[in-house]
């Protein structure tokens, strides 16, 4: 069993640390706040991000970057997309060459339009970067509810090593070499989950939700393939699998945000109410810029962008989507 460090003490970083500790890894969490570290080390809880969950006593946390990475052969990067570049830049001097970094954030970098594994690789070129994705809510992984994920790396040996380390009877891992397809599925499903939440907030029904998810995966695949991803990846755990869980789960932050927006709340009110990171909001503009760059049509993504950032009301956005020129499927 290899030692693991987790950078980030939010819900997903903490849930992964819990499941890996329970299945015999020695895990250390890096948190940016001393209060979070004290709570994990002394109370064995993380009430803000995983209410009601007790952490294993052997799981410890620190704010010290060097101490967090000491002895770690695998490092999980679990900070939100907007914090990835700064966090990895701050950690760069402490990484041993050859350390395997597993990015678990789902999003794109604003401005550069890079995938998050590309951002990390730029910050720490001396490390091997791979990606964990799939239908996996922290609230369920932390409670050992059976979950399946995917490890993607262009280097199949790295993917297999992480698969072997992370797999246990409650957490099944598949591998993939299609890093582009996996990361694009992970990033774009959050935008579709905002739309699915709006569907619910508007009081629409199952027909409209199924239409949204089906046409949503078509958009995700169109852009992903244009960028070099494989079509079949979008039929897998990081595509349709994650789309299903995020568009339908009560745990989804993106869906919850969409519900509030559909009910007429402003973006500011919505983000304040959800409290945790809503990556679809951070991703939608980059997705629209990528659509322009790769000359692909993303009508649902564009509609969400118009609602979030250009003052379009949700009813008008739906009407415009429904009355577009007829097409073949
Ligand atoms: N929560 C889940 O179920 C889940 C599952 C799979 C993937 N993810 C992805 O994991 C990533 C993290 O999500 P989360 O749900 O853990 O978020 P969260 O909102 O629960 O926690 C965010 C954490 O990041 C820290 N943080 C925020 N800004 C920071 C900064 N500038 N520098 C350093 N740390 C900062 C916060 O203090 C907090 O500890 C997201 O990209 C999300 O899409 C989440
Ligand atoms: O809660 P969400 O909407 O950020 O989604 C979390 C995970 O990505 C689900 O797989």
Domain extent listing, the chain:
4-177, 180-322
- Select from 189, 317, 184 the least CA-distant residue to 252: 189
Residue 1 has pLDDT above 90, yes or no: no
Is 114 in contact with 291 (CB distance < 8 Å)? no
State how far the Cα of 113 lies from the Cα of 58, in Å rounded to an integer. 39
Q: For residues 126-151, give the mean pLDDT.
A: 98
168-178 per-position pLDDT tens digit? 999 999 999 99
Percent of all residues in the chain with a pLDDT value above 70, rounded to a whole number: 100
Ligand 1 centre to CA of 112 (Å) is 20
Mean pLDDT of the chain: 97
- Using CB distances shorter than 6 Å, the residues near ligand 2 are 106, 135-137, 190, 193, 242, 245-246, 251-254, 279
| Residues 4-177, CATH architecture | 3-Layer(aba) Sandwich (3.40)
pTM comes to: 0.98
**How many CB atoms sit inside 10 A of residue 99's CB?**
18
172-208 per-position pLDDT tens digit? 999 999 999 999 999 999 999 999 999 999 999 999 9
Find how far residue 306's CA is from the centre of its chain: 23
- By most ligand atoms within 8 Å of CB, the mutation choice from 9, 10, 85, 142 for ligand 1 is 10
Catalytic residue, from 189, 209, 221, 312: name it.
Answer: 189
ipTM of the complex: 0.99
Ligand 2 centre to CA of 233 (Å) is 18
How high is the pLDDT of residue 2? Answer: 86
152-166 per-position pLDDT tens digit? 999 999 999 999 999
What CATH number belongs to 180-322?
Answer: 1.10.1040.10
């Amino acid at each position: 069993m290899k030692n693991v460090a987790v950078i980030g003490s939010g819900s997903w970083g903490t849930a992964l640390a819990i499941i890996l500790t329970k299945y015999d890894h020695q895990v250390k969490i890096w948190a940016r706040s001393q209060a979070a570290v004290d709570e994990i080390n002394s109370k064995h809880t993380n009430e803000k991000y995983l209410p009601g969950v007790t952490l294993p006593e052997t799981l410890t946390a620190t704010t010290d970057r060097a101490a967090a990475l000491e002895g770690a052969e695998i490092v999980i990067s679990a900070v939100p997309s907007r914090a990835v570049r700064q966090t990895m830049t701050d950690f760069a001097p402490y990484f041993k060459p050859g350390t395997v970094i597993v990015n678990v954030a789902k999003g794109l970098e604003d401005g550069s339009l890079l995938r998050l594994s590309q951002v990390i690789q730029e910050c720490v070129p001396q490390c091997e970067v791979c990606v964990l994705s799939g239908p996996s809510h922290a609230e369920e992984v932390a409670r050992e509810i059976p979950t399946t994920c995917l490890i993607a790396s262009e280097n199949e040996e790295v993917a297999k090593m992480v698969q072997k380390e992370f797999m246990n009877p409650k957490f099944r891992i598949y591998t993939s070499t299609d890093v582009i397809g996996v990361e694009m599925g992970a990033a774009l499903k959050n935008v579709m989950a905002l739309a699915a939440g709006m569907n619910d907030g508007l009081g629409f029904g199952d027909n409209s939700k199924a239409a949204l998810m089906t046409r949503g995966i078509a958009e995700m695949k169109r852009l992903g393939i244009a960028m070099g991803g494989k079509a079949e990846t979008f039929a897998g755990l990081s595509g349709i699998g994650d789309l299903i869980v995020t568009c339908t789960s009560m745990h989804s932050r993106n869906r919850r945000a969409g519900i509030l927006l559909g009910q007429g709340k402003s973006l500011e009110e919505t983000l304040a109410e959800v409290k945790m990171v809503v990556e679809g909001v951070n991703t939608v503009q980059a997705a629209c810029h990528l659509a322009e760059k790769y000359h692909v049509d993303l009508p649902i993504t564009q509609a969400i962008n118009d609602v979030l950032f250009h003052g379009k009301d949700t009813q008008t956005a739906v009407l415009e989507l429904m009355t577009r020129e007829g097409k073949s499927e």
